[in-house]
Amino acid sequence: MSELDDGEEAFAEATLTQAIENQIEADDPPAARATFNKLTLVGYEREEILQLMALVLAHEIDAMLRADRAFDTAWYEQALRALPELPEDQA
């Protein structure tokens, strides 16, 4: 995959952040809202929380595309609940 230019990177980041906001609002998956609330309670700012959560979503989307498989909801929820610790190859 080619590297993204600044405009493409900004669009990808905004799209991932919007997806996370939609998950929190819809409470689907429930781990999204739970993770947001947990990180808020321990002092993380909204933008930082959204960024961390977007990194987890991006990690799973990348893994899904590389392996040509379905989205792994169980892994995704587990990774969200593990925040602020990022998945191994994201740290």
**If you write DSSP's letter for every residue of 4-31 in order, what string do you get?**
P-HHHHHHHHHHHHHHHHHHHHHT-SHH
Q: What is the pLDDT of residues 22-48, one digit of tens each?
A: 999 999 999 999 999 999 999 999 999
Report the percentage of the chain scoring pLDDT > 90: 82
Do residues 38 and 58 lie in contact, with contact meaning Cβ atoms separated by under 8 Å? no
pLDDT tens digits, one per residue of 50-67? 999 999 999 999 999 999
Can you give the pTM of this predicted structure?
Answer: 0.88
Instruction: Kindly tell me the sign of the dihedral angle through the C-alpha atoms of 52, 53, 56, 57.
Output: negative
Residue 90: the pLDDT is 52
Residues of the chain with pLDDT > 70, as a percent, come to 92
